[in-house]
């Protein structure tokens, strides 16, 4: 599938898979950013992407983002739908800094994947689900 990408700066690393290790694609900062502890900033990622209708992008931090930069993505996961596809629709990483930090231009701070939209679901209220209980919260139980 071919996806159109507009780059907002000429010297940004192009989008690509990382050495066949994953089907996620890294996103880079498009400028050097300095943040103080406790500061919030939308960090520009230097791309606008024309997603096909019926698809969305999920954007999450890389596994090393917090360790390397002390950044938290404030919405935990970003979702970009296919309507956000114009020439001015640059993607951003909403960052909260837990320490003073400078992030250099072209640093890999987050990653994304493109997924097909969830099909339309119909929810039906029932008295019993008909499956065994696992004991409460997640896989660890109560």
Q: Which of 55, 71, 57 minimizes the C-alpha distance to 24? A: 57
Cα–Cα dist 84/82, whole Å: 5
Domain 4-140 homologous superfamily, CATH? Deoxyuridine triphosphatase (dUTPase) (2.70.40.10)
DSSP assignment, residue 17? B
Span of 6-20, 24-38, 85-99 with lowest mean pLDDT: 6-20
Tell me what pLDDT residue 132 has. 84
Which one of 11, 23, 26, 81 is the catalytic residue?
81
Specify which residues 60 forms β-bridges with. 111
Domain range summary for the chain, segments of one domain joined by +: 4-140
**Global confidence as pTM:** 0.87
Active site residue 81: yes
User: Does the structure show a pLDDT above 60 at 141?
Assistant: no
CA distances from 62 to 3, 65, 109, 115 (A): 22, 5, 6, 18
Tell me what pLDDT residue 50 has. 97
Grade residue 140 by pLDDT with cuts at 50, 70 and 90.
low
């Amino acid at each position: 599938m071919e996806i159109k990408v507009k780059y907002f700066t000429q010297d940004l690393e192009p989008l690509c898979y990382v050495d066949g290790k994953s089907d996620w694609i890294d996103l880079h900062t498009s400028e050097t950013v300095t943040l103080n502890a406790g500061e919030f900033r939308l960090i520009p990622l230097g791309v606008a992407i024309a997603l096909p209708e019926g698809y969305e992008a999920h954007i999450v931090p890389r596994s090393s983002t917090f360790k390397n930069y002390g950044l938290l993505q404030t919405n935990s996961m970003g979702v970009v739908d296919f309507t956000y596809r114009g020439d001015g629709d640059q993607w951003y990483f909403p960052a909260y800094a837990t320490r003073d930090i400078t992030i250099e231009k072209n640093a890999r701070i987050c990653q994304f994947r493109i997924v097909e939209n969830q099909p339309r679901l119909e929810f039906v209220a029932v008295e019993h689900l008909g499956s065994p209980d696992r004991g409460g919260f997640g896989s660890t139980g109560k």
